[in-house]
Amino acid sequence: KATICEPANEILEEIGVPCKKINECAGMYMVDPPHATGALIAAAYKAGAKIMNLTRVLDLILRNEGVLEGVVVNNTTAEMAGHDTIHVDPIALESKIVVDATGHDAIVVELLHKRNLYQKIPGNGAMWVSRSEEEIMDRTGEVYPNCFVIGLAVAAVYGTPRMGPAFGSMLLSGRYGAELIAKKLKNE
């Protein structure tokens, strides 16, 4: 089982995931992780998302003096085997917006740093659940033109405490990040 704090339980309940209130802990709910994960994936597909399983981000598409316009990906198993064993050319995925939701690794922002376009990221601080839940929400957003960070990637980029077992801000950060992105795209 996993815990989730309110109001993030509402996101799961909207897509049919049962959330059992924990009476001994105000504002906390218990969920079944495989059910929640499966329902979130199904909802993403229903909304039009495309998911590329076993895929990793290798590089960025940067144009016009550092404008981020997508990512370069490849098959994870081919990368692990090495180019001498299996050579699979990477794929360029162009996009107006890139979302770094890669968790503790913050891969997209790390690649910006590697290209000297962003400062070194500090990584997650020590676990402090309540503070992390707040700071993830406060700092979700655009960190570089066309690059938004959400969820655990926020903690890695800003050095905030890791969130631990209360997964509320991961869902809420994703929803808030989507709202910020929609607003940016509407204003373009």
Angle at 149 between CA 151 and CA 33, to 5 degrees: 25
Residue 141 has pLDDT above 70, yes or no: yes
Return the structure tokens found at 121.
């990221």
Position with higher pLDDT, 166 vs 177: 177
Return the structure tokens found at 16.
């049919």
For 54, phi and psi rounded to 5 degrees?
55, 50
Average pLDDT (108-130) is: 94
| pLDDT for the residue 165 | 64
* Residues in Cβ contact with 139 at an 8 Å cutoff, skipping those fewer than 6 apart: 149, 154, 157, 158, 160
Overall residue count recorded for the chain in this entry: 188
Domain 52-187 sits in CATH at 3.50.50.60
Q: What is the average pLDDT value for the chain, to the nearest integer? A: 94
Beta sheet of 20-21, edge-to-edge order: 2-5, 28-31, 20-21
* Residues in Cβ contact with 100 at an 8 Å cutoff, skipping those fewer than 6 apart: 106, 107, 108, 109, 143, 147, 148, 149, 150, 153, 157
Average pLDDT (8-30) is: 95
Average pLDDT (24-41) is: 94
Domains of the chain by residue range: 1-50, 52-187
**pTM, full prediction:** 0.92
Q: What is the pLDDT of residues 56-76, one digit of tens each?
A: 999 999 999 899 999 999 999
Q: How many whole angstroms separate alpha carbon 172 and alpha carbon 137? A: 7
Residue 91 has pLDDT above 70, yes or no: yes
Residue 162 has pLDDT above 90, yes or no: no
